[in-house]
């Protein structure tokens, strides 16, 4: 169990670093959504199913969607 959690935390931090490195903003947003998704799994492990649902639906799905809509209306690549 603890190994699974450690692996997920590692993956989450890698996702966050990737979100900071990617110059393609769409990729950065996907990486941030991955962070949210793993966080929601961690919430489930921490016995917070309500929060896990909210994070998965609001934090991962809707936030990524509005980010992508906004990027479509501005510019895709970081200068």
Partner 1 sequence: MGFLNSYIYYIGAFGLILIGLYIILVKRNLIKVIVGLGILDTGVNLFLISVGYITKGTAPIFSRTGIDSEDMVDPVPQALVLTAIVIGVAVLALALSLAIRLYQHYGTLNLRKIREQKW
Partner 2 sequence: MRRIVSILLLIIVAVGISLSLAKIPFGTPKTKVGRHYIDEGVKETGSANIVTSVVVSYRGFDTLGEVTVLFIAAIGLGAVLTANGREKMRKTEPASLVLYTGCRLLFPLILIFGTYIFIHGHLTPGGGFQGGAIIASGFLLIYLGCRERRISRIASNLAESLGGLLFVVIGLLGLAFGSYFLSNFLPKGTANTLFSAGIIPIIYIAIGFKVGSELAGIIDNLIEES
Chain centroid offset of residue 51 CA: 15
Which residues lie below 8 Å from residue 57, measured CB to CB, with a gap of 6+?
none
| 54 binds partner 2, rule: CB under 8 A | yes
Q: Could you count the other beta carbons within 10 Å of the beta carbon of residue 68?
A: 16
Q: Which of partner 1, partner 2, none is residue 65 near (CB under 5 to 8 Å by kind)?
A: partner 2
Tokens of 10: 């590692």
> Measured from the CB of residue 7, what is the shortest distance to partner 2 in angstroms?
18
Structure letter (DSSP) for residue 24: B
Contact residues toward partner 1 (CB under 8 A) are 2, 5-6, 9, 12-13, 16-17, 19-20, 25, 28-29, 32, 35-36, 39, 42-43, 46-51, 54-55, 58-59, 62-63, 66-67, 70-71, 73-75, 78-79
């Amino acid at each position: 169990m603890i190994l699974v959690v450690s692996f997920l935390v590692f993956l989450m931090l890698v996702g966050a670093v990737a979100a900071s490195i990617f110059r393609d903003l769409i990729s950065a947003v996907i990486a941030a959504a991955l962070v949210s998704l793993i966080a929601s799994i961690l919430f489930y492990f921490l016995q917070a199913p309500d929060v896990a649902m909210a994070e998965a639906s609001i934090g991962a799905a809707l936030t990524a969607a509005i980010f992508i809509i906004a990027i479509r209306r501005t510019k895709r690549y970081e200068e």
